[in-house]
Amino acid sequence: QITLKESGPTLVKPTQTLTLTCTFSGFSLSTGVGVAWVRQPPGKALEFLALIYWDDTERYNPSLESRLTITKDTSKNQVVLIMTNMDPVDTSTYYCAHDSVGDRGFDYWGQGTLVTVSS
């Protein structure tokens, strides 16, 4: 059974750096597997942020790439997303999701974590 869970601060101040952790079980970041981050501002659409694959391939949303870093710790079954210079417009629910090579889509999602950016 594949599960993912996001953790991190619920409130950050403008200009601060956000660090979110996705802890997963039921799979390992082995061949053919990746973990993605997707966010959703309140009442708005989904937005892809970043993706990391088993082979350390990284993909980023070009409009946010300068602010994002995605890393993995295979031994801990965790993927970490770092977003710098947070702004109130970054207030969103942040989701992590399981991806597998073979065009199977984001087939398992975490419950999401709401991050509010406010002074």
Partner 1 sequence: QSVLTQPPSASGTPGQRVTMSCSGSNSNIGGNSGYWYQQFPGTAPKLLIYRTNQRPSGVPDRFSGSKSGTSASLAISGLRSEDEADYYCAAWDDSLSAVVFGGGTKLTVL
Residues that bind partner 1 in the complex, under the rule CB under 8 A: 36, 38, 45-48, 51, 59-62, 95, 103-107, 109-112
Nearer of residues 9 and 59 to partner 1, judged by Cβ = 59
Q: Least distance in Å: CB of 5 to partner 1?
A: 11
From CA 52, how far away is CA 99, in angstroms rounded? 9
Nearer of residues 18 and 110 to partner 1, judged by Cβ = 110
- Residue 17 main-chain phi, psi, to 5 deg: -100, 135
Task: Identify residue 112 by its one-letter amino acid code.
Answer: G
Cβ-based neighbour number of residue 32 at 10 Å: 13
Q: State in Å, rounded, how far the first CA of the chain is from the last one.
A: 40
Q: Least distance in Å: CB of 74 to partner 1?
A: 22
Q: Least distance in Å: CB of 14 to partner 1?
A: 24
